[in-house]
Amino acid sequence: MDDKFLRVAAIHDLSGFGRCSISVILPVMSAMGVQVCPVPTAVLSSHTGGLGEVVVRDLTDFIEPCLEHYKRLEIDFDCIYSGFLNSQMQIDSCLDFYATYPKALAVVDPVMGDHGKPYRTYTPEMRERMKELVHVADVITPNLTEAAMLLGTEYSRTPMTRSQIKSVLARLGEMGPKMVVITGVEMATGEMANVGYDKENGSFWYVGCDYVPVSYPGTGDMFAAVLTGGLLRGDSLPLAINRATRFLEIAIKTTFSYSTDTRYGVMFEQALPYLMQNEILSGFSIL
């Protein structure tokens, strides 16, 4: 009976304070009617974005036995979704998860950095090996920093033309995934956008969003969670990007209106009912 409903294994960290990773993925996907089974890669007192000395407990030795337990239970997953990883060995464990459930939607959020810089804990070896996860993924959701790391190009803050971002999407598609979504792209027109590429039908998509002059941690996690929930519920790629973009826009603008400390993350809790409406959207266009 329970198997009729959508179930996701989310291989990500659990950060207590600051609204990122499992702390946002769980409520967001639950609101979308999707069951999340967290597979924590580490437990942290907060995210690592400027909140001082963080208390961390690595869980590298937890992931593989966790997978073994799920195999013994003979439960199935509709999606395996990996995000923030805490060691190189965890990349092997993620590869094992993807290989064990070949029919599941393989979502890889290649969390590695932001604003042109790698996160402190992401070693050059881990960044190199992230390509192995991208290779087996159905869907990847890098920001522009992560896209540059994957492609081995220089990160540039210069706004992009439509043809430039299409080329980035297509080159990431050549690395393996069927769908590529890049978040937080500043366009030469001055607009901010999230863009996508569906390799199977060769389509490129554009969803613009209102610019807010601050940046919050965890927005990439929240975006990937809504996108994944949407795809699992049957959204086309542009519909899912549109849904994730609108949700983030509501949550970010609400937060900005309160002038809170940006390190505390996005006040998305009041916006969760939006995800329950399963509204049909049309705010996307061809890229």
Provide the binding-site residues for ligand PXL, judged by CB under 6 A: 13, 15, 20-21, 44, 47-49, 84, 111, 119, 217-218, 220-221
Task: Select 42 or 275, whichever has its Cβ closest to ligand PXL.
Answer: 42
- Residues 271, 253 contacting (CB under 8 angstroms): no
**Bridge pairing between strands 7-17 and 105-108:** unpaired
Least CB distance to ligand PXL at residue 142 (A)? 12
Task: Select 91 or 287, whichever has its Cβ closest to ligand PXL.
Answer: 91
Task: Select 18 or 173, whichever has its Cβ closest to ligand PXL.
Answer: 18
> Exposure string (b/e) for 143-172, b if CB count within 10 Å is 16 or more?
bbbbbbbbbeeeeeeeebebeebbebbeeb
Q: Residue 266 is encoded by which pair of tokens?
A: 């996005």
Name the helix (H) or strand (E) containing 136.
helix 124-136
Least CB distance to ligand PXL at residue 158 (A)? 24
Least CB distance to ligand PXL at residue 20 (A)? 4
Task: Select 134 or 287, whichever has its Cβ closest to ligand PXL.
Answer: 134
- CA angle, 279 as apex, 277 and 280 as ends, to 5°? 160
For the chain, the farthest-separated pair of C-alpha atoms sits apart, in whole angstroms, at 53
Task: Select 50 or 188, whichever has its Cβ closest to ligand PXL.
Answer: 50
Closest CA to 206 of 258, 249, 254, 165: 165
Residue in the block written with tokens 């002038």: 259
Least CB distance to ligand PXL at residue 46 (A)? 8
Least CB distance to ligand PXL at residue 278 (A)? 26
**Bridge pairing between strands 192-198 and 203-209:** antiparallel
Task: Select 167 or 215, whichever has its Cβ closest to ligand PXL.
Answer: 215
Least CB distance to ligand PXL at residue 121 (A)? 8
